[in-house]
């Protein structure tokens, strides 16, 4: 069965620090990969997505992610975080099985950015 | 553009009571999903519906039933609520057949079972 693993459950950073959140997935077929963000008290919003092509994907708010197929990884990065980036981040993968599309999430990484 | 709308936003139930969570989307998406979100466990798929008239179990279907009433609406029913079903529930939709595999989420329903 496919699964998504996020390495860090909690990350604490100071403003201007660089961020990298790890994500690995297990699935051998064609995948689409996503990072979602959930600000406190809100629903999930899409940060960025990878379908095909350039493995370095740029999203909103200065976030980017790199798809490394050989490592089954899709790590999220931001060069300089802000206090407003405090949120929970979820990696997700879709797989196509029997003509159906299922979206599976990792456990999430809670990021706290201190001023 | 409303996107995905869930009702209610908050609900408190007593153990054994039943209720239905409603979800509607106005994006003409074929696929709809119900997730529950619990601390440290991310979002877990309860049920999904790839298209109108079809439903399938996800990772944690026990204690739940769903109905895909039409293309727009996908409801989740708890027949006999248990404290273990205290959670935040999210409905989502997508349209992989048109290349839109990313999911759009509703605002969530915070359910407490006492």
Average pLDDT, chain B: 93
pLDDT given for residue A43 in this prediction: 87
Chain B residues with CB under 8 Å of A34 CB are 102
* Per-residue pLDDT tens over the stretch B5-22: 999 999 999 999 999 999
**How confident is the model at residue A31, as a pLDDT?**
82
A59 touches chain B (CB under 8 A): no
Question: Are the Cβ atoms of A100 and B106 closer than 8 angstroms?
Answer: no
CA-based nearest residue to A109, from B41, B37, B103: B41
**B interface mutation test: which of A57, A101, A104, A106 has the most B CBs within 10 A?**
A101
> Cβ of B61 under 8 Å from any chain A Cβ?
no
CB of A34 within 8 Å of a chain B CB? The answer is yes
Residue in A closest to B47 by C-alpha: A102
Note whether B48 contacts A100, CB cutoff 8 Å.
yes
What does the pLDDT look like over A64-91, one tens digit per residue? 999 999 999 999 999 999 999 999 999 9
Residues contacting A18, CB < 8 A, separation 6+: A77, A78, A79, A80, A81
> Which residue has 């727009």 as its token pair?
B72
Q: Is pLDDT above 80 for B97?
A: no
* B34/A contact by beta carbon, under 8 A: no
Cβ of residue A46 closer than 8 Å to a chain B Cβ:
yes
pLDDT at B70: 95
Q: Is the minimum CB–CB distance between A96 and chain B shorter than 8 Å?
A: yes
Residue B68, token pair as written in the block: 């895909």
Using the predicted structure, report yes or no on whether residue A104 has a pLDDT greater than 70. yes
Q: Where are the beta strands (DSSP E) in B39-86?
A: 42-49, 56-57, 64-68, 74-78
Average pLDDT over every residue of B60-64: 96
Shortest Cα distance, chain A CAs vs residue B60, angstroms: 12
Residue A53 scores a pLDDT above 70: yes
Which residues are CB-neighbours of A74 under 8 A, at least 6 positions away?
A: A23, A24, A25, A33, A35, A50, A65, A66, A67, A68, A91, A93
| pLDDT over threshold 70, residue B94 | yes
Rounded CA-CA distance A30/A102 in Å is: 12
Are B102 and A46 an interchain contact pair (Cβ–Cβ within 8 Å)?
Answer: yes
């Amino acid at each position: 069965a496919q699964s998504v693993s996020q390495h860090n459950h909690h990350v604490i950073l100071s403003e201007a620090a660089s961020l990298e959140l790890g994500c690995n997935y297990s699935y051998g077929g064609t995948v689409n990969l996503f990072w979602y963000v959930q600000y406190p008290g809100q629903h999930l919003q899409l940060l960025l997505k990878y379908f095909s092509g350039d493995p370095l994907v740029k999203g909103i708010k200065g976030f980017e992610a790199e798809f490394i197929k050989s490592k089954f990884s899709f790590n999220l990065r931001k060069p300089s975080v802000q206090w407003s980036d405090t949120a929970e981040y979820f990696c997700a993968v879709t797989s196509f099985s029997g003509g159906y599309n299922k979206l599976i999430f990792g456990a999430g990484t809670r990021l706290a950015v201190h001023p | 553009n409303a996107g995905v709308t869930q009702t209610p936003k908050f609900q408190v139930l007593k153990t054994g009571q039943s209720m239905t969570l409603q979800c509607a989307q106005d994006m003409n998406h074929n696929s709809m999903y119900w997730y529950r979100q619990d601390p440290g466990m991310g979002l877990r798929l309860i049920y999904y519906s790839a298209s109108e008239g079809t439903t399938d179990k996800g990772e944690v279907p026990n204690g739940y039933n769903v109905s895909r009433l039409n293309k727009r609406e996908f409801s989740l029913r708890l027949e006999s609520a248990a404290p273990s079903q205290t959670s935040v529930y999210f409905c989502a939709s997508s349209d992989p057949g048109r290349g839109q595999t990313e999911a759009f989420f509703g605002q969530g329903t915070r359910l407490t079972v006492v």
